[in-house]
Amino acid sequence: MGSSPVKIAIIGTGLIGPRHAQAVLNEPDAILSCIVDPSPAAEAIAKQLEVLRYASVQEMLASSSKPDAAIVCTPNHTHVSVSKELLDGDVHVLCEKPISVDVPSGQDLVNHAASLNLHLLVGHHRRFNRYIVTTKRLLSSHSLGRIVAVSGLWTLYKPPPYFDAPTEWRRTSSGGPILINLIHEIDILHHLLGPIVRVSAEATPSQRGHEAEEGAAILLRFASGAVGTFVLSDAVPSPYNFEAGTGENPTIPKMGQDIYRIFGTEACLSVPDMRIWSYGQGEKSWTSGMKEEVVSVEEMRMPFELQVEHLVRVVRGVEAPSCSGSDGLRAVVVCDAVKRALETGEAVDVPLGVDQRV
């Protein structure tokens, strides 16, 4: 690509599409080429962004606005078909999570991109969040020692309008917090602690009566031997969630509560308040006093902007995907295992043999 700007299209203009579009507009090495959305209401968004709107991917591919890469922001169940259409048009794809709503179609998409020698990235943008970047750096330095356990929370309240048209699909089995929210958490845990190999789960009580689950208490085992617990719910008033903890989502007030606690043989860390507790140079004993250290977290660009900057570098061939198609699929595999654990009441082993080519 040289140093010419990378042309990027946005596919779908629901809640997340315009945020990706703004991130592209804020990237000096990228150009927002167009948006694609069949809804006439998207025309107003196109005018606001000062770009052309196309009603279909095929219409866009046949136009002068054909991009180098596209960000897929359509409903979950369409991610595979839309991404394939773009790949067949010789366009690199950054697909919003989840890469798919089931494992076979996700694997098919990963294989399809590999066969065309095109990049397939998955939009787990929280890998670019400054608190996660700092946590990853701390864990890589082994300052906590060997990781033994992790405890996580994603709990908040989604109001009734969240499930109204045109997003009534959120009431269905593909629209619950496992595939919408937990999948982010699973990717973060994979990114920080390595692959999960076994899950167990118990469902929270249903309050809405939708087909979609409302939450679960989940037990995790990692390939490293570490274990973890995670409580998930989108039906309880709570500040204990990634968005409120980190302030990442501008529509959710920042509260700053810790949402992850990571326990190592030498120290423990809470995130995002970034407090490390250890015995310092003293004796490791429950009767000893503990030392508290607050880790500084440097200011960074917004994760969506950093993700677009990364996409540009991947398209130019100077960087490998941070979250590849197979990485994104691995999170779907774990979420599928959580759903099966809820259905069967039994522990479910998670295979490690996800295609790693893309």
143: nearest Cα among 258, 276, 274, 270 = 276
In this structure, is residue 358 part of a structural domain? no
CA distances from 194 to 144, 188, 221 (A): 16, 9, 10
Average pLDDT of every residue of the chain: 94
Same-domain check for residues 162 and 193:
yes
**In what side-by-side order are the strands of the sheet with 69-72?**
52-54, 30-36, 6-11, 69-72, 92-95, 120-122
Report the percent of the chain where pLDDT is more than 70.
Answer: 98
The two three-digit tokens of residue 208, written as one number: 């809405």
State pTM to two decimals. Answer: 0.91
pLDDT for the residue 235: 97
Q: Residue written as tokens 């399809």?
A: 112
Task: Reply yes or no on whether the pLDDT at 355 is more than 70.
Answer: no
Task: Reply yes or no on whether the pLDDT at 320 is more than 50.
Answer: yes
Which DSSP symbol is given to 353?
A: -
Task: Reply yes or no on whether the pLDDT at 2 is more than 70.
Answer: no
In this structure, is residue 338 part of a structural domain? yes
Same-domain check for residues 161 and 134:
yes
pLDDT for the residue 184: 95
Mean predicted confidence (pLDDT) in 110-123:
98
Same-domain check for residues 30 and 48:
yes
Strand 147-155 and strand 291-294: pairing?
unpaired
Same-domain check for residues 287 and 154:
yes
Task: Reply yes or no on whether the pLDDT at 348 is more than 70.
Answer: yes
In this structure, is residue 205 part of a structural domain? yes
The two three-digit tokens of residue 286, written as one number: 């429950």
Mean predicted confidence (pLDDT) in 232-251:
95
Same-domain check for residues 190 and 294:
yes
> Vertex 93, ends 89 and 98: CA angle to 5°?
130
Same-domain check for residues 145 and 294:
yes
Task: Reply yes or no on whether the pLDDT at 356 is more than 50.
Answer: no
* Cβ–Cβ under 8 Å, residues 295 and 258: no
The structural domain count of the chain equals: 2
In this structure, is residue 340 part of a structural domain? yes
pLDDT for the residue 357: 35
In this structure, is residue 349 part of a structural domain? no
What is the CATH classification number for the domain harbouring 99?
3.40.50.720
Residues spanned by the domain of 190: 128-300+334-344
* Cβ–Cβ under 8 Å, residues 354 and 107: yes
In this structure, is residue 350 part of a structural domain? no
Same-domain check for residues 65 and 198:
no
Q: What is the pLDDT of residues 21-70, one digit of tens each?
A: 999 999 999 999 999 999 999 999 999 999 999 999 999 999 999 999 99
pLDDT for the residue 15: 82
Q: What is the pLDDT of residues 171-184, one digit of tens each?
A: 988 789 998 899 99
In this structure, is residue 274 part of a structural domain? yes
The two most distant CA atoms of the chain are separated, in Å, by: 71
Pick from 52-56, 86-90, 100-104, 135-139: least confident:
100-104
What is the CATH classification number for the domain harbouring 214?
3.30.360.10
pLDDT for the residue 354: 55
Mean predicted confidence (pLDDT) in 287-309:
96
Instruction: Indicate the pLDDT class of residue 352, thresholds 50, 70 and 90.
Output: confident
Residue ranges with strand state E in 90-139: 92-95, 120-122
- Across 71-104, b (16+ Cβ under 10 Å) vs e yields bbbbbbbebbebbbbbbebebbbbbbbbbbbebe
Q: What is the pLDDT of residues 121-151, one digit of tens each?
A: 999 999 999 999 999 999 999 999 999 999 9
Same-domain check for residues 213 and 260:
yes
Same-domain check for residues 95 and 167:
no
Mean predicted confidence (pLDDT) in 297-304:
94
Whether the ω angle into residue 272 lies within 30 degrees of 0, i.e. cis, is yes
